């Protein structure tokens, strides 16, 4: 069954500016990821799936929205592949296709949960205001 949100490998690579072919599958990005236990697909798997063009699986995965965008994976990658940028690109492509990529400052108080880390709030605001 095809997704309503057709997203291509080329679109993800263009949005992220990342070349997934540089990945050597060492797993350092995944070892560093604080969301590792909550993700169906881990950072190194994300990179491999983009490389193979398996974007449909990523679009349907909750892992796209479980990435905290902490960029720890960028720091650990010896090849500078930047898995978090690929994850953000998939997330942004899905949000753009849903035409739901706008968040106003007035919307934030209703969305804030006292257990929500401030980093998540800032990250969401940054992503949804573009």
The answer as to CATH 1.10.1060.10 being correct for domain 9-99 is: yes
Q: Are 83 and 115 in contact (CB under 8 A)?
A: no
Residue 57: exposure state from Cβ atoms within 10 A (0-12, 13-18, ≥19): middle
Instruction: Show me where the domains of the chain are located.
Output: 9-99, 102-130
> What's the rounded mean pLDDT across residues 88-106?
75
The residue among 31, 16, 20 whose CA lies nearest residue 76 is 31
> What's the rounded mean pLDDT across residues 103-126?
73
**Residue 75: C-alpha distances to residues 4, 19, 64, 82, 117 (Å):** 34, 16, 20, 8, 21
Q: Token match 């992220």: residue?
A: 16
Report the chain's mean pLDDT, rounded to a whole number: 83
Q: Which two tokens stand for residue 109?
A: 């108080």
pLDDT digits (tens, 9 = 90+) for 44-96: 999 999 999 999 898 888 888 888 888 999 899 999 999 999 999 998 888 77
- Per-residue model confidence (pLDDT) at position 61: 87
- Per-residue model confidence (pLDDT) at position 49: 95
**CA–CA separation, 83 and 64 (whole Å):** 11
Residue 38 CB partners (closer than 8 Å, separation 6+): 66
- Per-residue model confidence (pLDDT) at position 78: 93
- Per-residue model confidence (pLDDT) at position 1: 42
Q: Token match 């072919």: residue?
A: 21
pLDDT band with cut points at 50, 70 and 90 for residue 126: low
């Amino acid at each position: 069954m095809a997704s309503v949100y057709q997203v291509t490998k080329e679109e993800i690579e263009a949005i992220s500016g990342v070349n997934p072919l540089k990945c050597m599958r060492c797993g350092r990005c995944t070892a560093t990821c604080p969301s590792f236990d909550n993700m169906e697909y881990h950072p190194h798997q994300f990179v491999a799936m983009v490389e193979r063009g398996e974007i449909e699986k990523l679009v349907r995965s909750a892992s796209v929205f479980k990435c905290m965008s902490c960029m720890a994976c960028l720091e650990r990658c010896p090849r500078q592949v930047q898995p978090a940028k690929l994850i953000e690109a998939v997330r942004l492509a899905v949000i753009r296709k849903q035409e739901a990529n706008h968040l106003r400052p007035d919307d934030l108080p209703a969305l804030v949960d006292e257990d929500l880390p401030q980093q998540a709030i800032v990250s969401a605001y940054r992503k949804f205001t573009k």
